[in-house]
Amino acid sequence: MSFFRIEGGVPLSGRVRVAGNKNEALPAVAATLLTDEPVVLHNLPDILDVRVMLDVAVSLGAEVTRLSPHAVRVHTPVLKTAQVPDDLGRRVRASILFAGSLLGRAHEAHLPPPGGDVIGRRRLDTHFEGFQALGANFRYDDEGFHLVAEHLRGGDLLLDEASVTATENLLMAASVAEGETILNNAACEPHVQGIARMLNSMGADIQGIGSNRLVIQGVPKLHGCEFHIGPDYLEVGSFIGLAAVTGGEVTIENAAPEHLRMIRMVFARLGVETRVIGQDILVPGGQNLKIRQDLSGGIPKVDDAIWPQFPTDLMSIAITVATQSQGTVLFFEKMFEGRMFFVDHLIGMGAQIILCDPHRVVVVGPTRLVGQRVQSPDVRAGMALLIAALCSQGVTTIHNIRQIDRGYERIEEKLQRLGARIERISDGN
Phi/psi at 396 (nearest 5 deg)?
-120, 140
Identify the active-site residue in 49, 55, 86, 117: 117
Assign 3-class secondary structure to the chain.
Answer: CEEEEEECCCCCCEEEECCECHHHHHHHHHHHHHCCCCEEEECCCCCHHHHHHHHHHHHHCCEEEEEECCEEEEECCCCCCCECCHHHHCCCHHHHHHHHHHHHHHCEEEECCCCCCCCCCCCCHHHHHHHHHCCCEEEEECCEEEEECCCCECCEEECCCCCHHHHHHHHHHHHCCECEEEEECCCCCHHHHHHHHHHHHCCCEEECCCCCEEEEECCCCCCCEEEECCECHHHHHHHHHHHHHHCCCEEEECCCHHHCHHHHHHHHHCCCCCEEECCEEEECCCCCCECCCCCCCCCCEEECCCCCCCCHHHHHHHHHHHCCCEEEEEEECCCCCCHHHHHHHHHHCCCEEEEEECCEEEEEECCCCECCEEECCCHHHHHHHHHHHHCCECEEEEECCHHHHCCCCCHHHHHHHCCCEEEEEECCC
How far is it, in rounded angstroms, from Cα 122 to Cα 163?
A: 10
How far is it, in rounded angstroms, from Cα 255 to Cα 239?
A: 10
Asked if 117 is an active-site residue, the reply is: yes
Yes or no: say if 428 and 21 are a contact pair by the CB < 8 Å rule.
no
Contacts of 315 (CB under 8 A, 6+ apart): 302, 304, 331, 333, 339, 340, 380
Yes or no: say if 25 and 415 are a contact pair by the CB < 8 Å rule.
no
Cα dihedral sign, 376-144-167-26: positive
Active site residue ranges: 117
